[in-house]
């Protein structure tokens, strides 16, 4: 099973590392990362394997949302099936 993590916010040092560390804590394997910085704003889309995850996806998603608010970022975590459905034309 896969999930998609998206991050948007003002660029600062350590955003990718912070997200990667949170994934590692939950035994989530990072499969692919795409990131850009446009006019000082950081955007990232990360594909992750959640099969070995130690916590329910909804709990991890809520925790990442809270972390984002604490750090001035918007962090969203969703199952890949939902992400794919949202982005089909």
Average pLDDT, the chain: 92
- What pLDDT does 21 receive? 97
Cα separation, 86 vs 61, in Å, equals 17
Residue appearing with tokens 């939950």: 26
62-88 per-position pLDDT tens digit:
999 999 999 999 999 998 767 666 666
Class of domain 2-86 (CATH, top level): alpha beta
Q: Over the Cα atoms of the chain, what is R_g?
A: 13
The pTM assigned to this predicted structure is 0.89
Is the pLDDT score of 89 beyond 70?
no
- What pairing do the DSSP bridges indicate for beta strands 2-10 and 73-79? antiparallel
31-43 per-position pLDDT tens digit:
999 999 999 999 9
- What pairing do the DSSP bridges indicate for beta strands 29-38 and 2-10? unpaired
Parse the chain into domains and list their residue ranges.
2-86
7-57 per-position pLDDT tens digit:
999 999 999 999 999 999 999 999 999 999 999 999 999 999 999 998 999
């Amino acid at each position: 099973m896969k999930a998609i993590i998206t991050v948007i916010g003002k660029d600062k040092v350590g955003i990718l590392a912070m997200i990667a560390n949170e994934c590692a804590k939950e035994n989530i394997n990072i499969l692919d990362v795409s990131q850009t910085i446009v006019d000082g704003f950081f955007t990232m889309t990360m594909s992750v394997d959640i099969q070995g995850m130690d916590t329910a996806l909804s709990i991890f998603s809520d925790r990442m949302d809270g972390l984002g608010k604490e750090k001035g970022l918007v962090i969203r975590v969703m199952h890949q099936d939902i992400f794919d459905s949202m982005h089909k034309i």
